[in-house]
Amino acid sequence: MMDLLLTLNAGSSSVKFALFEPGDWGPLRRASGQVEGLNTRAMLHAGLAGAQDKHSRALTTQGPASHREALTAILSWVRANVADARIGAVGHRVVHGGKSFTGPALIDDKVLAVLAALEPLAPLHQPHNVAGILVARATFPGAPQVACFDTAFHRCHPFVADAFALPRHFYDEGIRRYGFHGLSYESVVDRLRHDWPDAISGRIIVAHLGNGASMCAIRDGRSVASTMGFTALDGLPMGTRCGQLDPGVLLYLMTQKGMDAGALSDLLYTQSGLKGLSGLSSDMRELEGSSLPEAREAIDYLVARVRHELGGLAAEMSGVDTIVMTGGIGQHAWRVREKILRDMDWIGLQLDPAANEAGKDLVSKPGSRVRALVIETDEEAMIAQHTMLVSGIDGTRVAAKASRADA
C-alpha cells in the first residue's frame, strides 16, 4: 500500500479535500472534492484527477451533518475509488497562526491549544479548522498532522506594515496586522516561478478576489504588505464581510444603536460586503446577472476598493511590474477584471480587452510595461507540498522551516 497525503480545508459549512501521491518533483493529485451544505443538507462531490465524471450524493436524508460525518463520507469514497489508498499524513489549512507560527508545523497538543486560543481572531474559520484537526487526529491516530497557515506567508513584513498606531504594548501582545490568504499567494508565487520566472525578482501585486478577498504586495517572492490586518475583516469588501471600516462606526453602533459584540460580529462577518450593499446576494454571478441598481453599485464599490488598494500597494514598492488576478472572481469574472484593470496607463498597464474576455493567462497588451496575468490558485497543492516536507512522508523527515518563531 502507498502512503498518500490527505489535505483538508474545514469551513463552517463545507469540508474541501484533496488526495496526493508523493512524487520526486512534488505531490501529484489523485483525487479531490468537497462536502458542502453541512448546515442544511450536506452533499458530497468528488472525482478522480483527470476524470470527466464526478460523484455526487447526499450525506443525510434530512437535517445538517457534522464534520465527522463529512470526513467519514470522504474516506468512504476514497477507499472505494482510489486503489491502495492509505493515509500517511494529513495537511490542514489553518487560517490564523498568530505571531507564533512563521511556517507549517507538526500538530501536537501544545500546538492545538495555541490554535484554539486564536479562534476569536478568525471566528468564521478557525473553530472549524480546529474541529477538522480533532476529527482527523481521531481518525488517523498514527498519521502526522500538519498545520499550514494563511498568515505565515506574511510574517516577514516590516514593522510599518504590521503595526497599528496604538500603544506599543498592544503590538507586543500580538495585536498587529497579520494578513491572510497566504497559501493562495504562495501558490501564485510557485506558479510564477515555474511559468513566468522573470517576474519573481520584480514587484508583484496579487489580487485574491473571491468570497474572501485581499491583495498582497510581493517583492522577490516575499510578502511586504497585505490589505488584511488583525482579522479577516479588513481591507477589501468581500462576499459577506465589510472590509475597511472607520472604527468610529463601531463606537456609534455600540453607543447609539445598543449593539453588543455578538450583534456587531454578525453584522460585520455575515451581513455586510457584497451581500449587504446589494441586498441581494454575496455571489458575483448573481450580481452580474441582476438588473437591480444596488447590484451594480455593489460591484462598482468592490472595483473602486481594489483600484484604491492597488495604487497603495504599488506605492509601497515604488511601482509594480506584474499584477496577478486570482480567486473565484479574479479568475472567472472577466467583466470585473476589465473594470479593475482598464485606464491604468498611469501605472504602466495596458489591458488587452480581447485577451481578458477570452480568459487568457496574459491579459495585458504586448507593449505594456506592467504585465497582467490571470492565474488559478491551488491552495490544496501548497498544503500538500508543506505536508510532504514537514511530515517526511517521502521517507525523509524534514523539520518544519521556522515553524515556531516566538511561541
**Cell triple for 337:** 477584471
Read off the DSSP letter of residue 393.
Answer: T
CA distance 18 to 85: 13
**Helix or strand (DSSP H, E) at 48:** strand 43-48
**Cell triple for 249:** 462606526
Place of cell 489580487: 207
Which residues, 6 or more positions from 312, have their beta carbon under 8 angstroms from its beta carbon? none
Annotated catalytic residue within 150, 234, 378, 394 = 150
Which residues, 6 or more positions from 83, have their beta carbon under 8 angstroms from its beta carbon? none
**Cell triple for 124:** 468564521
150 among known catalytic residues: yes
CA distance 40 to 62: 8
CA distance 117 to 144: 22
CA distance 165 to 382: 34
CA distance 215 to 180: 9
Q: Which residue numbers are catalytic?
A: 150
